[in-house]
Structure 1
Amino acid sequence: MRKTALLVRLAKPVAVAAVAAAAVLAAPAANASTTLTAADVHPAAGTFSVLPEAAVDGSGDGTAAGAIAWYKAHLGNTGWEHYCEKAAENSYGTTGVWASANAHWNGASPKHTSGTPPVGSFVYWNISAYGHVGIADGNGGFYATSVGGKIGHGSSTSYFSNYRGWTPASVPHQ
């Protein structure tokens, strides 16, 4: 009986710490700086823009407009670096569907390798072992992590090398 009581007392702080750590990963701290310079631009891709942050009620509501609003509300945030798939899923109000951008690309359909991706569609690059994913703005550009080291807007899908293509806008699911 005493061992059980001791284990319960020890397990409680560990569980609290795990919940706290998960909260930090789920909601990265905001970065006040949204100023980007020419050094942040991929030379072969032209330019990208930083749009002013705005509070939009539809953010993360499962729609293409909500996904774009989510990215706009997080512009300049550095806490999502190396979590592009999580950011893309969170923009649609979900998380934990795909293990990586490559897994998302491999499992999603239909795949399109040409044409301008429609607003809210997922755009993919093969730039690492895990790939990279963002959300199309509907005008040939995209929102994603790692744009100048933070969440940003690229004016062209050629901002990153090895563009794969796009899949339709929808709440991620397997």
Structure 2
Amino acid sequence: MHRRLTVGLLAVACTAAGLAFTASPASAAATYPVKTTLDGRTVKDPEVPVGRQRVADKYPEGSSVTIVCQDDGPSYGGSTLWDLTTDGLYVPDAYVKTGSSGRVMGACSIPQSFPAKVTLNGRRNKGDAATAPGSVVDRYPAGVNVPVVCQAASGGAIWDRTSHDLWVPDEQIKTGTTGYVSGLPRCDTDGTTGGGGGFPADPNAAEAIAFARARLGHTDWNNQCELFVERAYGTSGRFATALAHYRWQRDNGRIHTGSVPPPGAAVFFTSTTSAGHIMLSIGDNSAISTGPSVYQTNTFRERSDYLGWAYVPSGW
């Protein structure tokens, strides 16, 4: 079994007897508010598209990021400084309220080296079997330090990419933690929480989702999708139709496309009527929708009439 993903990050604070390894940066992580909604990137590149190396709207305006270290990169927002968060994602320092235009954290140290627990084959792809095509037999003997440049998820387990462009299962490396290593970036966005960065769209998002879940299977909400979402947030009479709600969100520049809606977000569709349609995102690419009965779906973004998602108004 490969090391399973764990919630949160554990500090690297131990060394293996007789086998030193490079620990995380010495300076403690620090939390700062963001100036605007920020994407999270696995690379220091302002132009990288949303997808494998960029998570849209990872850190919403009003939330905070916890920085592990800082590094130089391409200029963005008037600064060449980039911050690596405890999520293993880079954000441009110009849009983080650190109280300084310069460094407030230590420089990132990449790669970080850790001893192999057993002799390991280097794999061409994360998740590959030890003898998969392209594997390098006995590339990392037991006890030898493995230089890790980034980490990623595959099949619910953590995998480490080395500076030799090979992959090894993280459970076979003595990193000092059972989770991701603080101070190492992600290699890609697999297994990374979508937009919202773990912060709900609204303080009442959890309660709204609970309201919607409790009504799965109910048949008394047909043609009342907008009211359903509003009632989930403890309000009503905000918009006459889902389409009117969508137009307000659109006209105020709040609609997001191309990213997974965070929990509690409103999800919009043109539908087959002039009223449009709205669902409530419950996270993990799933949403709860009304119809002849209230149901849950994870294929809503595949609909041809999908318009995008938005955080519900802050006044709800």
Work out which of the residue numbers 43, 64, 70 in structure 1 matches 2:211. 70
Query: Is there any run of 5+ residues in structure 1 with no aligned partner, and where?
Result: 1-60
Residue from 247, 261, 264 that aligns with 1:120: 264
Instruction: Identify the residue that residue 157 of structure 1 maps to in structure 2.
Output: 300
Identity of aligned residues (%): 32
In structure 2, C-alpha distance between the alignment counterparts of 1:115 and 1:156, rounded to whole Å: 14
Q: Which runs of 5+ in 2 are unaligned?
A: 1-201
Per-residue deviation, 1:161:
4.0
Q: Counterpart of 2:232? A: 91
In the alignment, what sits opposite 1:142? Answer: 287
Larger Cα-atom Rg? 2
Pairing 1:4-153 to 2, within 5 Å after superposition: 63-108=204-249, 109=252, 110-127=254-271, 128-146=273-291, 149-153=292-296
TM-score normalized by structure 2? 0.33
Higher strand share: 2
The higher relative CO (CA closer than 8 Å, separation ≥ 6) is in 1
Distance 1:71 1:126 in 2: 21
Please give the alpha-carbon distance, in whole angstroms, between the structure 2 residues aligned to 1:159 and 1:96: 30
Residues 1:84 and 1:165: Cα distance change in structure 2 (over 3 Å): same
TM-score with structure 1 setting the length? 0.59
Distance change >3 Å, CA 105–CA 82, structure 1 → 2 = same
Amino acid at match of 2:248: G
What CA distance in whole angstroms lies between the structure 2 residues aligned with 1:151 and 1:172? 26
Count residues in correspondence. Answer: 111
CA RMSD of aligned residues (A): 2.0
**Distance 1:117-1:74 versus aligned 2 partners, 3 A rule:** same
Amino acid across the alignment from 2:280: I
> Residues 39-93 of structure 1, C-alpha deviation per residue, up to 9 Å, x if partnerless?
xxxxxxxxxxxxxxxxxxxxxx961111110011111111110000000100000
**Which structure has greater helix proportion?**
1
Q: CA deviation at 1:172?
A: 6.1
- Decide whether aligned partners of structure 1 residues 159 and 153 sit closer, same or farther in structure 2, where only a CA change above 3 A counts: farther
Local SS of the residue matching 1:150? coil
